[in-house]
Chains A and B, each alone.
Chain A
Amino acid sequence: MDVSNINKLFNQDLSAVNLGLESFAENLRNEGVKAVQVQWKPPAGGNKEIAELLDKLDTIRKKVDVDAANKKAAEIINNGKPTVIDISTAGKAIPGMRKNLVLHAGPPVEWERMSGPTRGAVIGGLVYEGLASSYEEAEKMAASGEIDFEPCHHHSTVGPMAGIVTYSMPVWVLENKAYGNKAYATLNEGLGKVLRYGAYGDEVLERLKWMESDLAPILKKALDLHGELDMKNIIAQILQMGDEGHNRNRAGTSIIIRELAPYLVQLDEPKEKIVKVFEFLNANDHFFLNLSMPSAKCIIDAAAGIEGSTIVTTMARNGTDFGIRMSCTGDQWFTAPAPKVEGLYLPGYTEDDAALDIGDSTITETVGIGGFAMAAAPAIVKFVGGTPKDALNVTTRMYEITETENKIFQIPALDFRGTPTGIDILKIIETGILPAVNTGIAHKTPGIGMVGAGLVKPPEKCFNDAFKAFVEKYS
């Protein structure tokens, strides 16, 4: 009988982890022993059915090497090298894009079930595209069945808030240089009355038209002169400049301006046009969001479809449903009704004005930035509920549900620890910890725009269902 580990313990300082009655830990601390208290919760948030399935894990692990699969997925995420290679249009660049197709954020949803902001953006998009001549006509057309609706995510694309993408819209084209896959997103329209918040007035469409005719071509020329943008490097920088890449994009936007400015001023374009481009970029702190999102998409798509992997590859909402996808089940969505956002409201708005959670921007959290990197963005902790210490705790908690730490994306306040990377469904189920997501809040009525920002608690059901599907698949 080998008990050398026990004899080793006799010669070590005791260091305890306490699960249960906290006074046991306090007593040890009284005696000078290090004791860490675990804030334990029943697995799967107390869901019995799910907790029982957890017992099958031992058997499943014998059939499929989940740990190796997740390690592989995490490695792919870590290796991802998102790079901006072009600015094009949706019609030209996005695979499967066609005239009568409208892409939207989140899991699949038909017109009848679409949220206010999504409908508003669809109406605006159809008029912008010239498919309808009036907003009324657009609404009828959308309901008629003439128009196809598909999630951005089905086309390697991501869109913030309503996430509407139509044929003529300019898009960023990114390539994951490590794995060759591409990702797309429109250019960010700015704040206020914008299509992504469901606004569709003339002012909105004029701006979209200007983006198509002026902004995108000019930026493309500047980009061509500059050469490809290494987004991995830029995201690493912004995390050290107070951004987290979802709700704070000020540093990222500044870097993009800095990168492109020397080339923008070289362009053979009328001065007023260049000035307008600069003014537009400068006025919109979130310009970078439409780069951080496709960067994240580009990174995570390479980790989809790995046999046995329980890593989350998508979290997305459409204002009606919250949906996730898991690596080993590929394209299958696990959805639940979209939750409310707990947040702070802009003056004049209240919770009653808020649409339900919406947008593909949770792709940032999916790769470990955004809410997962809250510790990097102390400036916005008030917006999402507290003190800088809270922000550190949010990020620290996410390490409990992730497979690894990012090698390049680091957080200064955590002593340059890598961001929590590779959300593992099994860890979510076992710990009952849900991914930390922060987000903007749209007005529920189409056409009004952003009314606040805050924190979202993703529905447990999505993760429970994914876990059930995993167990079923490998039992």
Chain B
Amino acid sequence: MKRVLVEKDSYYDSVFLMLINREVQQIEGVTDAVVSMGTDVNVTLLKETGLADSEIEGVTPNDLIVAVEGESEEVVEAAIAKAKELLDKKSSSEDEGENYKPSSLEGALKVSPDANLAIISLPGEFAPREVKKALNKGLHVMLFSDNVSVESEIELKNIAKEKGLLMMGPDCGTAIINGKPLCFANVVRPGDIGVVGASGTGLQEITCAIEKFGGGITQGIGTGGRDLKNAAIGGTMMLMGIEALKNDDATKVIVVVSKPPADEVAVKVIDALRKTGKPSVIHFIGMEPGEQEGNLYFAGNLEEASGMAVALSKGEKYEKRTYTIDRAEIDAIIERETKNMSAKQKYIRGLYTGGTLADEALIMFDREIGGIYSNNQSKEEFIPPDPNKSIKHTIVDLGDDVYTVGRPHPMIDPSTREDRIKIEAEDEEMAVMLLDIVLGYGSHPDPAGAILDSLKDAKKKAESRGGYLSIVTSITGTEGDFQSIHETKNKLESIGCVVMPSNYQASTLALEIMRKVEK
């Protein structure tokens, strides 16, 4: 029993639809369901799966399609009714107060002439045009959308440069401007440290750790992941961000974080930081930190970048350390986590929602143990052919495109990771599961709670096989985040997860556990 409903002229945001899609799919008796806009890709998909055919002839990306297959007519009817109800919920909340909602950027500027920032998370094919409009109207831009071409990025950043405006992105998930968290960001105490980051979760991890170490931030500027990596883009936004922080009296210390930049870009960035004259901490993820040189300090990991910055901000000396927990306690944890493991348990499984956090763990394990499989691997032979199947040591970034086709990012919708945990739970060779829990705006209201049952189950399954599953986690978040960081920690600890103070420490601990397992 199939039914297809097409609503002409009803545009909805794709992430919103994906969440509805999931709810409809979960209705008992529904065998398949698609709630999506009528884009070419979706139409082809629907026809290929046989869920819809002639009903969707001539639909446009502006038309909503609800296609449901179910065991009976009643089920299908109910599913369609549910989809409509969920869709209406949006429109009713939008109509709240029946206030005027502009349909265009220009319209919004008429409603809000003092607007100074545009946040754009439209589909990548449509986003650049709107960005251009925003920049031409003198607005700073945060471009959350991905699937924007390098050419577009260069063009947009050139316009931004000419006008002296921020163009954070594309694919910029995190920023904190004037203390206000944008998109995926945490509520961080104000202070005197300014951060520019080419990595979303990297920026989150650093700003949260700054607060944890007793510091605070002025600005957290995102640049988008390609800003430094791509020589043609040339670190445009990074250099503009550094310049702005240099001119900003409130900023005393600058932190820069990025994946390894193109060589000539690295030179320019370091040179720009040198010229600020302000103490500056640099962390290029995965690169060996250099020696301190004048006002330039090099950090070896995300947490260290924060630690150094806070020390500089307070005029203290930074003490290099691995753990912020007593060694004796660490040893006790390692002992406890390994003593009941079976001989068959040999491998690490890192299941990450944050890309940079995944990289931090991956690079550490790859350096120390080697041969780590990951969708983020730079060595092609270690990219698993089936992204959903772990091979030996595997650390995956579940926020990567290969996992998010038709699904929201796992930080929004934890079910992607929950499904993966269930698969891993069946693997008797898994010894340690390494996880990140990212709190803050943008993230799921209870990212730990949402996967708790699956984690408990995985531990139980290992036990029933005569082993013990060690789950090591860290929480990226602050006291100010709407998801309680304390409750999150309690939930994880209540089922026996080890919760470490940072991703770096969690990864290091997991590494030590693995080393002990290997012996």
Q: Which residue of B lies closest to A12 (CB)?
A: B116
Say whether, besides A9-B117, A9-B140, A397 and B103 are in contact (CB < 8 Å).
yes
In Å, the complex CA distance between A19 and B482 comes to: 23
Binds A, one of B175-183, B259-267, B452-460: B175-183
Alpha-carbon distance A6/B175, docked complex (angstroms):
14
User: Contacts A20-B121, A22-B13, A31-B187 hold; do A38 and B62 have CB atoms under 8 A apart?
Assistant: no
Distance (Å) between the CB of A398 and the closest chain B CB? 10
B9→A45 contact, CB < 8 A? yes
Contact A38 B178 (CB under 8 A): no
**Which residues of A in the span 416-431 have a Cβ within 8 Å of any Cβ on B?**
427, 430-431
Given the complex, which residues of A lie within 8 Å of B11, measured CB to CB?
Answer: 40-42, 46
The segment from B122-130, B330-338, B381-389, B392-400 that touches chain A is B122-130
Given contacts A43-B129, A387-B98, A393-B98, A21 and B16 within 8 Å (CB-CB)? yes
Q: Decide: A6 and B165 in contact? CB cutoff 8 A.
A: yes
Q: B179-201 interface mask toward A, CB cutoff 8 Å, 1 = contact, 0 = none?
A: 01111000100000000000000
Q: A9-B166, A41-B11, A46-B38 are in contact. Are A14 and B100 (CB under 8 A)?
A: no
Looking across the interface, which residue of chain A has its beta carbon closest to that of B93? A22
Q: In chain B between 117 and 174, which residues have their CB closer than 8 angstroms to a CB of chain A?
A: 117-122, 126, 129-130, 134, 138-140, 144-145, 161, 163-166
CA distance A397 to B110 in the complex (A): 11
Would A1 and B121 be within 8 Å (CB), given that A10-B219, A15-B112 are in contact? Answer: no
Q: A16-B118, A54-B129, A390-B98 are in contact. Are A40 and B103 (CB under 8 A)?
A: yes
Find the B residue at minimum CB distance from A392: B100
Give per-residue flags for B223-246: 1 if the beta carbon is below 8 A from chain A beta carbons, else 0. 000000000000000011101100
Tell me whether A23 is interfacial, beta carbon within 8 Å.
Answer: yes
| Complex: chain B residue closest to A21, CB-CB | B121
Q: When the two chains form their complex, are residues B103 and A36 in contact, meaning their CB atoms are under 8 A apart?
A: no
Known contacts: A14-B180, A36-B102, A38-B103. The answer to whether A20 contacts B144 by CB under 8 A is yes
Would you call B165 and A19 a contact (CB within 8 A)?
no
Q: Does B442 contact A (CB under 8 A)?
A: yes
Least CB distance, A8 to chain B, in whole angstroms: 8
Interface centre among A1, A21, A54, A55 (most CB of B within 10 A): A21
Residue pair A9, B60 in contact (C-beta under 8 Å): no
B441 interface hit (Cβ, 8 Å) = yes
Q: Is the CB of B180 within 8 A of A33?
A: yes
Whether B103 contacts A433 by the Cβ 8 Å rule is: yes
The interface residues of chain B lying within 8 Å CB-to-CB of A9 are 116-117, 140, 166, 177-178
A393 lies within 8 A of B100 (CB): yes
Number of interface residues of B (CB under 8 A): 69
A5 on the interface (CB 8 Å rule)? yes
Q: Is A59 an interface residue (CB 8 A)?
A: no
Query: With an 8 A cutoff between CB atoms, is B419 at the interface?
Result: no
A54 contacts which chain B residues (CB < 8 A)? 129
Say whether B103 contacts A17, CB under 8 Å: no
Complex alpha-carbon distance, A54 and B130, angstroms: 12
Say yes or no: is A445 at the interface (Cβ < 8 Å to chain B).
no
Contact A6 B166 (CB under 8 A): yes
- Measured CB to CB, the closest approach of chain A to B404, in angstroms, equals 14
Docked-complex contact A400 and B106, CB < 8 angstroms: yes
Task: Say yes or no for A7: interface residue by CB 8 A criterion.
Answer: yes
- Rounded to whole angstroms, the CA-CA distance of A100 and B105 in the bound complex is 52
Which single residue of chain B is at the shortest CB-CB distance from A7? B247
Residues of A within 8 A of B240 (CB): 1, 3, 6
Interface hub of A2, A27, A396 (most chain B Cβ within 10 A): A27
CB pair B107–A399 under 8 Å, yes or no, is yes
Interface centre among B11, B104, B118, B145 (most CB of A within 10 A): B104
Q: For residue A343, give the distance in angstroms from its CB to the closest CB of chain B.
A: 18
Interface check A4, CB cutoff 8 A: yes
Q: How far is the CA of A47 from the CA of B8 in the complex (A)?
A: 13
Other-chain residue from B117, B122, B247 in contact with A40 (beta carbon distance below 8 A): B122
A195 to chain B, nearest CB (A): 36
B368 interfacial by beta-carbon distance below 8 Å: no
In the assembled complex, B343 has its CB within 8 A of some CB on chain A: no
Q: Across the interface, do B126 and A43 meet the contact criterion of CB distance under 8 Å?
A: yes
How many whole Å from A328's CB to the nearest CB in chain B? 21
- Bound together, the chains give a CA A142 to CA B336 distance in angstroms of 99
Q: Give every chain B residue within 8 A of A48 (Cβ-Cβ).
A: 60-61
Q: Is the CB of B100 within 8 A of A17?
A: no
Contacts A3-B247, A10-B219, A14-B178 given: A38-B104 contact, CB under 8 Å? yes
Contacts of B109 in A (CB 8 A): 17
B321 at the interface (CB under 8 A from A): no
Residues A400 and B110 in contact, CB atoms below 8 Å apart: yes
* Contact across chains for B103 and A15 when beta carbons are under 8 A apart: no
| Minimal Cβ-Cβ distance residue in B for A27 | B441
Q: Which residues of A contact B182 (CB under 8 A)?
A: 24, 28
Please determine whether B101 and A15 come into contact, CB atoms closer than 8 angstroms: no
Asked whether any CB of chain B lies closer than 8 Å to the CB of A330, the reply is no
Nearest residue, chain B, Cβ from A33: B180
Q: What distance in Å separates the Cβ of A467 from its nearest Cβ neighbour in chain B?
A: 15
| Cβ of B94 under 8 Å from chain A | yes
| A333, B295: Cα distance in complex, Å | 69
B401 at the interface (CB under 8 A from A): no
- Nearest Cβ distance between residue B492 and chain A, in whole angstroms? 24
Q: Answer whether residue A389 sits at the interface, using C-beta atoms and an 8 A cutoff.
A: yes
CA of A142 to CA of B129 in the docked complex: distance in angstroms? 52
Contacts of A22 in B (CB 8 A): 13, 16, 90, 94
Who on chain B is nearest to A51 by CB? B126
Residues of A within 8 A of B102 (CB): 36, 38-39, 397, 400
B94/A27 in contact, CB under 8 A: no
Minimum CB distance partner of A394 in chain B: B100
Neighbour of B115 across the interface among A2, A6, A15, CB < 8 A: A15
Task: Pick the contact of A36: B15, B115, B144 (CB < 8 A).
Answer: B115
Determine if B423 is an interface residue (Cβ-Cβ < 8 Å): no
23 contacts between A and B (CB under 8 A): A5-B164, A10-B177, A12-B178, A14-B178, A16-B115, A17-B109, A17-B118, A19-B105, A19-B119, A20-B120, A20-B145, A21-B13, A21-B16, A23-B442, A24-B183, A28-B119, A41-B11, A46-B11, A390-B98, A393-B98, A397-B103, A400-B102, A400-B103
Task: List A residues at the B interface (Cβ < 8 Å).
Answer: 1-7, 9-10, 12-25, 27-28, 30-31, 33-43, 45-48, 54-55, 387, 389-390, 392-393, 396-397, 399-400, 427, 430-433
16 more A-B residue pairs beyond the given contacts A6-B243, A9-B177, A432-B62, with a C-beta to C-beta distance below 8 A: A1-B164, A1-B239, A3-B164, A12-B178, A14-B178, A14-B180, A15-B115, A15-B117, A17-B115, A19-B119, A21-B121, A31-B181, A31-B187, A42-B60, A42-B61, A397-B100
Contact surface of B with A, Cβ cutoff 8 Å: 9, 11, 13, 15-16, 38, 60-63, 90, 94, 98, 100-112, 114-122, 126, 129-130, 134, 138-140, 144-145, 161, 163-166, 177-178, 180-183, 187, 218-219, 239-241, 243-244, 247-248, 250, 441-442, 482
**List of 4 A-B pairs having minimum Cβ-Cβ separation, nearest first:** A20-B121, A46-B62, A46-B60, A400-B107
